[in-house]
Amino acid sequence: MKKILSKIVGTKKRNIGSMLFLFALLMPFFSFSSPSPQKNKEIFSLSLIPLENNNKPEDIRLKYDGFYFLIEKEQFLKTKRQFNFKENYQAESENIFFLPLNKLKEKNNFWFVFETIENRFHYKKEIAYYLNTKTLKEKLQEISKIVKKDSQEGKFEKNEQDEIYLLQEPQEGYQMDADKTLYQIIEGIIQRKNSFFIEVEPILPEIKANEIEKFYFKDLLGKGESNFAGSPANRIHNIQVAVKKFHGLILKPNEEFSFTTILGPVDKENGYKEELVIKQNKTIPEFGGGICQVSTTIFRAALNAGFKITERHNHAYPVQYYSPQGTDATVYVPNPDLRFINDSFNFVLVQAKIEKTNLTFEFWGKSDGRQVEIEGPTVTERSPDGKLKTILYQIVKDKDGNLLRKDTFKSFYDNPNNYHEPDFKVKPENWSYKQWEEYKIKHNLQCERTCR
């Protein structure tokens, strides 16, 4: 072995002049200065980024304004076994055969030109750590869905002179800046850090309060009306609370309106009172009873404006407040929902008003000349027990009278008695005494002979 090595070393000495000449020729093509900013960007674009000195990172901890997230190292760390040159390391002679020359070539190192067989004794097999930026990006994408707050457009009111007043200031939102957060994490891990603040960028409202006059809200695009005469006090109160959520809204061009999203939580904390609602095939008291008066009226306005209705559901049985039947829209957070698209390609201002027991919603904007025809609702089937079927058509044409679409709205209403429990004072003949006792307890009936 020593003879072989001395022969190779001797060959190296004899060809030293040739090697120096080769080095001089190749020198202009290599730079030994620090990496440029462009080079750093290229590093960040790599799917696997090597960590120097076997730097094994810890779990990543991210935080922002009350949000805390943990990314475990197993989710973004990748390991590889590789050979590293150690000048002061002496490998056992039999281990050198684990480092064939093609492994050296894979290192893509300029100094491979000067590698010799004896250097193979100084290569040590080690575990190398890499940042898997692909999986790291995927985790950040998941987190970005949580660290996000949409901007809120301001609310405005229009008077009879077409003057617009600000009701509620617009609010900025924010979302994660995934690229900046990723770069911060990569740089930090290289510096042996594991705790980071999430980088965010603002989401600005499209309409500024001082620019509202630039928009055109002079054409009445559609109007919806309903009457809630005979409603209990709690129902009227809930209608008034819900109307405030929608009065003054600005609908963006091509925006899909979602009633339940804008409405938000329906509970005592948000000002609602208990009133009858249809839920799970029963008519029961619950917070927010009466809100469907608002959704029904908005549905009628959207129909008359010629907007594309993408979701609408009728009530389980005919409700007197929503006459004519076939033009109602039931909602319950989060679903069923009422949804439609503002396909007028202009901003639309939503205005609402309550006059005695009449509720009105109006959509104001710039007309594109569309023509809207509403056919129906027509009763197609009626049963003695109160069941009802209706059909309604929304026909929308462009300014030249060309048909854009014809949408059909079918409604089926069940027998109302299926959703109301009869008020018994005497045990029905077909009931067992056990059923009757349960009924009396449930309805707090405290009676003797008259309730037997």
279-288: per-residue pLDDT in tens? 766 777 788 9
Assign 414 a pLDDT band (cuts: 50, 70, 90).
Answer: very high
Q: Is the model more confident about 97 or about 204?
A: 204
Nearest to 397 by CA among 420, 422, 372: 372
Asked if the structure places residue 189 within a domain, the reply is yes
What is the pLDDT averaged over residues 112-118?
Answer: 48
Dihedral pair phi/psi, residue 131, rounded to 5°: -85, 125
Q: Are 196 and 188 in contact (CB under 8 A)?
A: yes
Name residue, tokens 């692909």. 134
Asked if the structure places residue 97 within a domain, the reply is no
What is the pLDDT averaged over residues 20-27?
Answer: 43
Identify whether residues 314 and 294 lie together within a single domain.
yes
Average pLDDT of the chain to the nearest whole number: 80
Record the tokens describing residue 37, joined without a space.
């900013």
Query: What is the rounded CA–CA span in Å between residue 295 and residue 241?
Result: 13
Q: Is the pLDDT of residue 334 over 70?
A: yes
Range of 12-16, 61-65, 370-374 with top mean pLDDT:
370-374
Give pLDDT, residue 338.
98
Q: Are 327 and 299 in contact (CB under 8 A)?
A: yes
What is the crossing angle of helices 178-190 and 37-44, to 10°?
100
Q: Are 129 and 192 in contact (CB under 8 A)?
A: no
Identify whether residues 205 and 220 lie together within a single domain.
no
Identify whether residues 409 and 427 lie together within a single domain.
no
Asked if the structure places residue 136 within a domain, the reply is no
Lowest mean pLDDT among 49-53, 61-65, 194-198, 271-275: 49-53
Name residue, tokens 């300029």. 110
Identify whether residues 361 and 386 lie together within a single domain.
yes
Q: Are 264 and 228 in contact (CB under 8 A)?
A: no
Asked if the structure places residue 65 within a domain, the reply is no
Q: Is the model more confident about 313 or about 114?
A: 313
Q: What residue spans of 252-409 are helical by DSSP H?
A: 259-263, 292-305
The domain boundary residue, chosen from 212, 227, 254: 212
Identify whether residues 293 and 332 lie together within a single domain.
yes
Asked if the structure places residue 28 within a domain, the reply is no
Lowest mean pLDDT among 56-65, 196-205, 293-302, 427-436: 427-436
Q: Are 360 and 308 in contact (CB under 8 A)?
A: no
Strand 195-197 relative to strand 60-64, pairing: parallel
Q: Is the model more confident about 1 or about 168?
A: 168
Give pLDDT, residue 22.
42
Identify whether residues 191 and 317 lie together within a single domain.
no
Lowest mean pLDDT among 317-321, 369-373, 402-406: 317-321
> One-letter amino acid identity for 382?
R
Lowest mean pLDDT among 67-76, 175-184, 199-208, 324-333: 67-76
Query: What is the rounded CA–CA span in Å between residue 390 and residue 381?
Result: 7
Residue 127's DSSP bridge partners are 81
Dihedral pair phi/psi, residue 40, rounded to 5°: -60, -40
Identify whether residues 409 and 433 lie together within a single domain.
no
Give pLDDT, residue 271.
95
Name residue, tokens 């003057």. 163
The domain boundary residue, chosen from 157, 188, 212: 212
Percent residues over pLDDT 70 in the chain: 72
Give pLDDT, residue 37.
41
Range of 7-16, 132-141, 381-390 with top mean pLDDT:
381-390
Task: Give the residue numbers spanning the domain of 278.
Answer: 215-419
Asked if the structure places residue 108 within a domain, the reply is no
Asked if the structure places residue 156 within a domain, the reply is yes
Give pLDDT, residue 7.
42
Lowest mean pLDDT among 127-136, 236-245, 247-256, 405-414: 127-136
Give pLDDT, residue 1.
41
Give pLDDT, residue 270.
94
Asked if the structure places residue 24 within a domain, the reply is no
Q: Is the pLDDT of residue 234 over 80?
A: yes
Q: Is the pLDDT of residue 99 over 60?
A: no
Domain count, the chain: 3
Identify whether residues 407 and 308 lie together within a single domain.
yes
Identify whether residues 404 and 290 lie together within a single domain.
yes
Name residue, tokens 């710039």. 366
Identify whether residues 280 and 361 lie together within a single domain.
yes
Lowest mean pLDDT among 88-97, 149-158, 248-257, 330-339: 88-97
Give pLDDT, residue 77.
76
Q: Are 240 and 233 in contact (CB under 8 A)?
A: no
Identify whether residues 220 and 203 lie together within a single domain.
no
Identify whether residues 207 and 221 lie together within a single domain.
no
Q: CA 349 → CA 150, 240, 297, 303, 366, distances in Å?
A: 19, 19, 16, 16, 10
What is the pLDDT averaged over residues 129-155?
Answer: 87
Q: What angle do CA 236, 162, 399 make, to 5 degrees?
A: 95
- What letter does residue 284 receive in the DSSP assignment? E
Q: What residue spans of 98-250 are helical by DSSP H?
A: 101-106, 133-144, 178-190, 233-246
